[in-house]
Structure 1
Amino acid sequence: MFSAPKSTSKGQSHRARTFDPEDSKRVKHTRIGVWDLYEEKQPIFGWDIPGTSTLEYYLEITRSLPYVWQMLKDMSSIQNCWIFATLYVIVGLALSVIPAASLWYSGQLLTIIQTAIDTRTVDKDFLVRISAGRTGCAVLGRLLGHAKASLAYPLSNRLKQHYTMHLFHARARLDLPTFEDPAVRRQIEEASHSSRGGVAWDTFSMMVTAVSTAINITSEVSMLVAVLKDQPDGTLLAVICLSQSFLNWFSEIKSAGQGHSVWAATTRNQDYVKMRGLMRVVSLPEHRKEFVAGNLAEYCNTVFREATQRVGYEAGDFPEVWRHWKGRRRLSFASIFKEPWKELPQIVFTLRSMQSPASIPASLASLNLIQTTASNFGFTVYAFAYQFGSIADQLATVRKLYDIVNIPNRIPDGTVPFPEDAQKAKAGIDVEFRNVSFRYPDSEIWALRNVSFKLIPGQLGVIVGANGSGKSTVLKLIMRLYDVEEGEILIDGRDIRTLKLGDLRQSVSVLFQDYTHFPLSIRDNIALGNPSHAANDDQVRLAAKLGGAEEFIERLPEGFDTYLERPVPDHYSALPEGTKTIFGNPVKYGGIRRAADMQSSTGHNLSGGQMQRLAVARTFMRSMVSEDSTVGLLLFDEPSASLDPTAEHGALLSTCACAVGSLSGFLAKDLFERLRQLRGDKTMLFSSHRFGSLTRHADLILYMNDSVIEEAGIHSELLARDGGYARTWKLQAQAFI
């Protein structure tokens, strides 16, 4: 398995510094084949000992301790969690003294051997008790290990479930600009990233393991001193064997070299980069159609062969090249010196045997005991040092886990309830932009510049213009997904920033061009259109009917219970080739099929128009199906972009019907008549790059270009001006002549 250089995680990761590969004073450059490896230069000794103590390291732990204490208090609130936690600690501590007890019994065997040599007699009862004791330690260790594993599962599951809810809440509360901030996303990922048990379980188990390991080391050292103090050369042999373990440890660290350093690797060999790109071209299915249609096989073969010849035998993925380079570095003074050092205990044993042949049996048993114990002890010490070196980072992760619920949102909530009169709001909401200018976060380009317009209750407004002109941005600002940079937006005469966000968004229904479908059932997708009220099945079906989606939903195998993207996939191993479906979904055969391969199914594929009808149905759930809906403003962003002309006509008819509340006979009426009926009811605002019948009957048309409103008025007025609107309308009209 590839073990690449790992980024530092013991104190260094929290230092405020940067890594610049071009800084030759702080960064070492090594050429490995076609790869350039850049490593941060290490201290004088050239290696980093896990667990190295620094003031910064302990300050990091100190800052995190209050959060760990909070975690422990939260554990007490989880059902039966402390029962499992207490038992887990007790079992872990009991396991930590088992090796010392076993070592004591082994030491008693040395006593029996020495007594047998000196007196030619053996205390059989004592030997039986010692043998029974050693066997008991082995059995007890196995039972305790099983008990620890059995306790770990329910305990980790309880912690994981609790903090899954914590993380869900932390993510759900973020507004759009905050969630889109890469720093916030990274903070959430760092707080979420852990093993399957979660951050809390990892921290708790690490703390228990660290304490248990410390007890294990202390008890074993004490017992080893007690056992060997009367053995000839016992102390000397113990020191030699233990030093051998530490020598192996340092040798491994040295050979790993950059294992705990900051590093980066890249390749500037254009031929190798081209080879890897061509390999993807011939391997990935998404390229196959154009590859075959373009007759690219012969050309790509030639280019690949020429690039391979120029690269020669230096080509290779970084993991394999790095492994080879790392193996060459293993030959060091420490690695050479440790080989003869392994033989030193045998030399000491031989010299002792030459001086006292009668002590050979006892010395041989003592040597075996020391070597076995030293080997286990060395591994335990190394594991403890590594764990101790990771504690600061693990505790810091706990701090991040709690900090994410306090991330401030960029869009502050207002304090004024809205609307004051729910019945009045249903008859339309007043919308006014006053000199609004806006730029998206981290962008220098104005999305809107000095935009002003007003829609009074019951009016139909249409924003037209090319893609990227700012149409969709207007709708996003009305929903207050972002706040304006300059100017102000008034809703029913009030500054939008003073209104409660929940009230505002409950009074507006919007269908964005880049609509989404949640990884839930179709029924839940539609029902989420009105999340503040429980939707019954009749309401969902009515919304689907009005959105033009009921017919194709009923044809799906599971109807409204169908998942378009099932969040929990089915898993299966290699299946007989004749198996085409399983659990109602098609079997996917991808890559090399092994028995252990776990493959999954996703769901049903719908056309773009069908997906958009579902989005329209979800919009209708809030705007018209719910009897206690307070929606007074309907926003549609390119509502017919994915529909064919017939479906577009039907969708617009449905849209009109939703605004007036009529549920029967609207499909038989002309679209234009339906639009005229909208006046005096809900306020509606469309954005579209298409100019058609809708604009001819709009109360207000905003023609946008390059983030500004160039023209505003009704259809006849804008045609008379013969400006940008008129020219674009005539060009689109000619396409249908």
Structure 2
Amino acid sequence: MRGTYSNRKGKFDPSDERNVKHTKIGQVWELYEERQPELSKIPFSTRLNLEQYIGIYESLPYVWQMLKDVGSIRACWVYLGLYLALHGFLSLIPAIRLWYSGQLLSIVGSAIEKRTVDKQLLFKVAASRVACSLGEVILQHFSRVISRPLNTRIKQYYNIHMFGALARLDVPTYNDPSIQRQHEQAFPSTDLPQSVVWKTVVGSVNLGSTVVMLISQLTVMFRVLKDQHDGPLLAFLSLLNSVMSWNYYSQSLFGLGVWAATTRNADFIKLSGLRKAIGHPAHRKEIVTGNMWEYMHSEYRRCVTTLGEDTGEFSNALNSFRQRRFPSVVALIRQSVQQLPQIVFTLRAVSYPSSIPLSLASLNLITSTTSSFTNTLFRLVYETGSISDNFASIRKMYEVMQVENRIRDGTVGYPENSKELQMGVSIEFRNVSFKYPESNAYALRNVSFKIVKGQLCVILGQNGSGKSTILKLIARLYDPLEGQILIDDRDIKTLKLADIRQAMAVLYQDYTCFPLSKNIALGDPGHSSSNDLSRITKAAEFGGASEFIERLEDGYETYLERPVRDYYSGLPEGTTSLFGRAVSFGGVRGAGGMKGSDSVGLSGGQMQRIALSRTFMRSLVSEDSELSVGLLLFDEPSASLDPTAEHDLFERLRHLRGQKTMIFSSHRFGNLTRNADLILYMHDSAIVEEGSHEALIRAGGEYARIWNLQAQAFL
């Protein structure tokens, strides 16, 4: 079962028998419930707990910061003031309506006693009750009207901050599961109609309104019932009945404590797997070509027969389990208490027969008033828990927005003179060791080497040998655990991150193409000439992407992956395209309608050429700037390219290189390695051979052995 994270601290361990209760539900499901303390048996104790109030208190500084931020949004205080005023009036309407109900009860009593009716007063009270109802509808309407722009302004303000808080994270911070979980909790989805901040504002206003409503109703109810025979007793019994009913239902599994459910039943697990297999289009080809359907059908029948009534999901099994249980003592008492108000009314009618009409009116008023009062009380209890969760979410939101990156920025500008980059960049590793987060294995172990300015270096080795890790450390995506990295004889940690990354262009092995237009221009974002079509075209030519990009309908403005889907109902089967995009009728149709094609259908090699062109974009010096890059890093740049495209790529790279330092990581031996100034051959996270191609061949080591093996394939 999957659920959501709560704001509670601590840990839930199903194997802890002392604190966790285990229940077998049927032959499939196993339920683990956190054992509740004795205090939890008291009504409302599961909602009114000290931990919530402590959490609210600890979150107050963040809520105060939220209020200051909301106040800085244009026109928000005006809208918020109107919103508060409207809800203040709305909170008083139930008490006003109760007061007029008491007036109607007085009119009934006077009519019974004096045999006369004050028609003018009756008309006035009736008109006032109608006015209350109309006023409530009008105030609620204006509340919704005002809340819309208020919610929109708050949501947009925090969405911008949320985007910035997420975009600025470096790789190790972003990949930390705890940070991702915090982001998911603080910013569930930008598509939600309400932001966490707006929910907190609304929850706080509702809590205040509920308190006002509760006090005003209690005051008016006391004034109305104090002169009625047995009025307080009937009110108490009605309130007791409501409290017991609420407490009975609030003790359900999903309303208290922490719980988890799992199944270890092999037949049920297989049954679920068979359902998923035949329902997913990805498996259809193998099911058909492998003649699997008869076996799957037979196994499905066997599992269903074995499990019998226990083939349902957990919620169905839990409902059946509860229905089979004998009613509890509390349930029996609750049913008895429900009859007490009618018994008291009957005894009063027998004792005072003349007051039966008034007693009926009193009973109706007491019942409706008590029900309204009880609902208000319950809402206050629930909103206290809700406000605790909302305040905790506000705290987490601000904590996430203030998370510090793991990679600390340096303070020294780089380079001192931009013309230095034209001669390349020198790089030195001194006894560098590194492990990826959450890994115990070394990705690099005691690695040392030096690349002189302007050299072409090729890092060779099998997958997982540490080639890509060296490039990531040079780009400071991570910092080494041990050792030192020098850029132009300066410690890389002392240099400003933005300056280092501006001085290099990188193509990663796991390259991406963004769901944006002008993918190539993103190689030099924010630069005044980054949208220069001639520069973009030139970068595309170097990357080998210009030919197929120009054939696309929107050329360089094409979205490689459309970030917004189209929505439409079921269409006639003759409809093959809509809005210029193909419509797919294949697969199982979901509730949201059919989904058109969202991509332009480029191959992996074409996508890689676009990513390569984006890397070249920064390498090209623009007409209005002397800035360029001095270091080019390529991680398996020809992995998705055919031999012809690979040859053309290396020719363009040699032409582009000039005097820049260029580093390749690859597992291929070929023309590139023969022209390299320096080859680093890696194995098992360490450099085992180092030198030029000729020197390594003469050494007769592992590099020479693999080179000769590959050469023999072409003889």
- Calculate the TM-score normalised by the size of structure 1: 0.92
CA contact (8 A) 2:581 2:596 kept: no
Confirm whether residue 729 of structure 1 aligns to residue 707 of structure 2. Answer: yes
> Residue 49 of structure 1 aligns to a residue in which SS?
coil
1:210 is aligned to: 207
Amino acid paired to 1:650: D
Q: Distance in 1 between matches of 2:459 and 2:242?
A: 76
1:407 is aligned to: 403
Within the candidate set 39, 43, 63, 2:37 is matched to: 43
Q: Distance in 2 between matches of 1:566 and 1:488?
A: 43
1:517 is aligned to: 513
CA contact (8 A) 1:6 1:260 kept: no
Within the candidate set 323, 337, 359, 2:319 is matched to: 323
CA contact (8 A) 1:29 1:36 kept: yes
> Residue 14 of structure 1 aligns to a residue in which SS?
coil
1:703 is aligned to: 681
Q: Distance in 2 between matches of 1:580 and 1:323?
A: 46
Confirm whether residue 154 of structure 1 aligns to residue 132 of structure 2. Answer: no
Confirm whether residue 632 of structure 1 aligns to residue 630 of structure 2. Answer: yes
2:8 is aligned to: 14
1:231-380 alignment, distance < 5 Å? 231-254=228-251, 256-257=252-253, 259-329=255-325, 331-380=327-376
Check 1:591–1:156 CA distance in 2 against 1; reply closer, same or farther (3 A cut). Answer: farther
1:446 is aligned to: 442
Confirm whether residue 533 of structure 1 aligns to residue 512 of structure 2. Answer: no
Unaligned residue ranges in structure 2 (runs of 5+): none
Shift of 1:123: 1.4
Deviations 1:509-546 (A, max 9, x none): 0100101122212x1x2111112413123322222222
> Residue 38 of structure 2 aligns to a residue in which SS?
coil
Shift of 1:232: 2.3
Q: Distance in 2 between matches of 1:176 and 1:709?
A: 25
Over the matched positions of the two proteins, sequence identity in percent amounts to 52
Shift of 1:71: 0.7
Shift of 1:652: 2.1
Amino acid paired to 1:278: L
Confirm whether residue 502 of structure 1 aligns to residue 493 of structure 2. Answer: no
Check 1:637–1:593 CA distance in 2 against 1; reply closer, same or farther (3 A cut). Answer: closer
1:643-658 alignment, distance < 5 Å? 643-658=641-656
Shift of 1:386: 0.9
With 357-366 and 684-693 compared, the bigger mean Cα shift is at 357-366
Q: Distance in 2 between matches of 1:286 and 1:92?
A: 53
Q: Distance in 2 between matches of 1:598 and 1:371?
A: 52
1:60 is aligned to: 55
Shift of 1:53: 4.6
CA contact (8 A) 1:570 1:601 kept: no
Shift of 1:23: 1.5
| Displaced runs of 4 or more, over 6 A | 4-8
Shift of 1:55: 4.5
1:118 is aligned to: 113
Q: Distance in 1 between matches of 2:591 and 2:313?
A: 27
Deviations 1:233-252 (A, max 9, x none): 22221111111111110110
CA contact (8 A) 1:428 1:458 kept: yes
Shift of 1:594: 7.7
Shift of 1:7: 7.4
Check 1:214–1:581 CA distance in 2 against 1; reply closer, same or farther (3 A cut). Answer: same
> Residue 339 of structure 2 aligns to a residue in which SS?
helix
CA contact (8 A) 2:585 2:594 kept: no
Amino acid paired to 2:90: L
Amino acid paired to 1:587: V
Q: Distance in 2 between matches of 1:443 and 1:529?
A: 31
Check 1:486–1:5 CA distance in 2 against 1; reply closer, same or farther (3 A cut). Answer: closer
> Residue 107 of structure 1 aligns to a residue in which SS?
helix
Within the candidate set 564, 567, 580, 1:571 is matched to: 567
2:221 is aligned to: 224
1:619 is aligned to: 615
Q: Distance in 1 between matches of 2:85 and 2:594?
A: 38
Deviations 1:606-629 (A, max 9, x none): 110111011011101101153433
Within the candidate set 154, 174, 179, 1:179 is matched to: 174
Amino acid paired to 1:18: K
Shift of 1:275: 1.5
Shift of 1:69: 0.8
1:663 is aligned to: none
CA contact (8 A) 1:701 1:713 kept: yes
CA contact (8 A) 1:434 1:487 kept: yes
Confirm whether residue 96 of structure 1 aligns to residue 91 of structure 2. Answer: yes
> Residue 620 of structure 2 aligns to a residue in which SS?
helix
Q: Distance in 2 between matches of 1:593 and 1:103?
A: 53
Deviations 1:625-683 (A, max 9, x none): 534333000011100111112222222222223223xxxxxxxxxxxxxxxxxxxx111
Q: Distance in 2 between matches of 1:609 and 1:421?
A: 38
1:28 is aligned to: 21
> Residue 528 of structure 1 aligns to a residue in which SS?
helix
CA contact (8 A) 1:581 1:587 kept: yes
2:661 is aligned to: 683
Q: Distance in 2 between matches of 1:435 and 1:533?
A: 37
1:667 is aligned to: none
CA contact (8 A) 1:416 1:498 kept: yes
Shift of 1:90: 0.7
Shift of 1:5: 11
> Residue 450 of structure 1 aligns to a residue in which SS?
strand
Q: Distance in 1 between matches of 2:440 and 2:329?
A: 58
CA contact (8 A) 2:151 2:198 kept: yes
Amino acid paired to 1:632: G
CA contact (8 A) 2:544 2:609 kept: yes
Amino acid paired to 1:706: D
Check 1:32–1:221 CA distance in 2 against 1; reply closer, same or farther (3 A cut). Answer: same
Deviations 1:18-64 (A, max 9, x none): 22212211111000120111111111255473675555433322221
1:473 is aligned to: 469
CA contact (8 A) 1:51 1:388 kept: no
CA contact (8 A) 2:211 2:380 kept: yes
Deviations 1:360-416 (A, max 9, x none): 222212211221222222222112101112322221211111112322221111111
CA contact (8 A) 1:623 1:631 kept: yes
Q: Distance in 2 between matches of 1:345 and 1:545?
A: 87
Check 1:597–1:338 CA distance in 2 against 1; reply closer, same or farther (3 A cut). Answer: farther
> Residue 163 of structure 1 aligns to a residue in which SS?
helix
CA contact (8 A) 1:574 1:595 kept: no
Unaligned residue ranges in structure 1 (runs of 5+): 661-680
2:159 is aligned to: 164
RMSD, aligned CA: 2.2
1:674 is aligned to: none
CA contact (8 A) 2:214 2:376 kept: yes
CA contact (8 A) 2:281 2:587 kept: no
Q: Distance in 2 between matches of 1:312 and 1:731?
A: 62
- Calculate the TM-score normalised by the size of structure 2: 0.95
> Residue 648 of structure 1 aligns to a residue in which SS?
helix
Deviations 1:310-358 (A, max 9, x none): 3333222112112222344583223233334333222222222223333
Amino acid paired to 2:21: K
Within the candidate set 414, 417, 422, 1:418 is matched to: 414
Shift of 1:554: 2.3
Shift of 1:584: 2.3
Deviations 1:565-586 (A, max 9, x none): 2223222233333322222223
